[in-house]
Homo-oligomer: A and B are copies of this chain.
């Protein structure tokens, strides 16, 4: 076992059994590293949420673009955001990590710091995982386990014609950074001016409130881009939708800051905002726990998703999505 791997296991073990958390809790992690499985205990009668996400070097990040802490932060944020999109509470994180033999220990330390800090910030603790030597590039697979009151998870399939469509925060900010990086303008992309790309925040608190107050009828996070993620809600719910172009909250990036193009707001991914629908009789505040909420359209009968521009003309909004958009 290479040194980096051994130190990583020691670190995970230390974190997962750290003193300020009891080894046997009523809820949460009963036993972490040191057994064949981790034992988790959810509140009595709660459902368990599980989500898994790959983070591959060269596909999801580049070591010359992203600081190690950003890679760890983004890696776990993907999973935390999936828990948020169900209205759940993050409980535990499992990290499977394959590292190239020549990876500097300082990179691994930075990655773990970014990951653990972000997980704990949202109430989840590193509870286990696996390590291996990678023949080529960093491979991380993150599993986030959460819980939610029995039968109360907010699914993608609950939208009905007449529901309003809402999105939190702003869109396109993460994609704007990637476009700059791909254009070779790395120096003009400062992590703090493009924080939505380098250090995105999952909307865990917002998701919880939407569930508790029964405000959302369907929900998803915007990891693939609005056009793709809305298509998922429409497809799972068997409905169509109309989106107003002028209503889409476009991110501001850079310094001096400027608004991103509509195309990025429609198709750029990895913003980790919440996209949800609500019954017409539900009043949705303009801001929930400090997060702006925008109404961007409404659910229709049929299957088509239409984009309505300022002059009232309509065109079909095809799920071009983030991956496709970049090619």
Contact = CB atoms under 8 A, between A and B. Distances in A.
A156 B35 contact: yes
Interface in A44-97: 44-45, 47-54, 56-60, 81-83, 85-86, 88, 92, 94, 96
A36 to B, nearest CB: 4
Contact size class for A? 35 or more
A143 B40 CA distance: 14
A39 B49 CA distance: 5
B52 A48 contact: no
Contact of A30 (B37, B47, B82): B47
B59 A38 contact: no
Mostly helix, strand, loop or mixed at chain A's interface?
A: strand
A155 interface: yes
Contacts of A51: 36-38, 128
Assembly of this chain: how many copies? Answer: 2
A225 interface: no
A116 B131 CA distance: 24
A38 B150 CA distance: 13
Interface stretch (A132-140, A190-198, A244-252, A261-269): A132-140
Nearest to A146: B37
Interface string A1-44: 10000000000000000000000000000110011111111101
B220 A82 contact: no
A130 interface: yes
A326 to B, nearest CB: 12
B323 A41 contact: no
Contact of A132 (B59, B96, B135, B153): B59
B58 A38 contact: no
Contacts of A323: 1
A132 B54 contact: yes
A155 B17 CA distance: 15
Nearest to A151: B30
A50 B128 contact: yes
Contacts of A153: 30-31, 35, 37, 39
Contact of A94 (B36, B50, B60, B155): B50
A17 to B, nearest CB: 11
A92 B50 contact: yes
Interface string A91-120: 010101010000000000000000000000
Contacts of A58: 135
B52 A129 contact: yes
A116 to B, nearest CB: 17
Contact of A52 (B31, B130, B139): B130
10 contacts: A1-B323, A35-B86, A36-B51, A37-B50, A38-B51, A40-B47, A42-B42, A60-B132, A135-B137, A139-B139
Given A37-B153, A60-B132, 14 more contacts: A35-B156, A35-B157, A36-B51, A36-B85, A40-B48, A42-B42, A44-B45, A50-B128, A50-B145, A53-B96, A54-B96, A56-B135, A59-B135, A139-B139
Which 9 residue pairs across A and B have the least CB separation, nearest first?
Answer: A141-B141, A136-B136, A36-B85, A36-B82, A37-B49, A40-B48, A37-B51, A96-B141, A54-B132
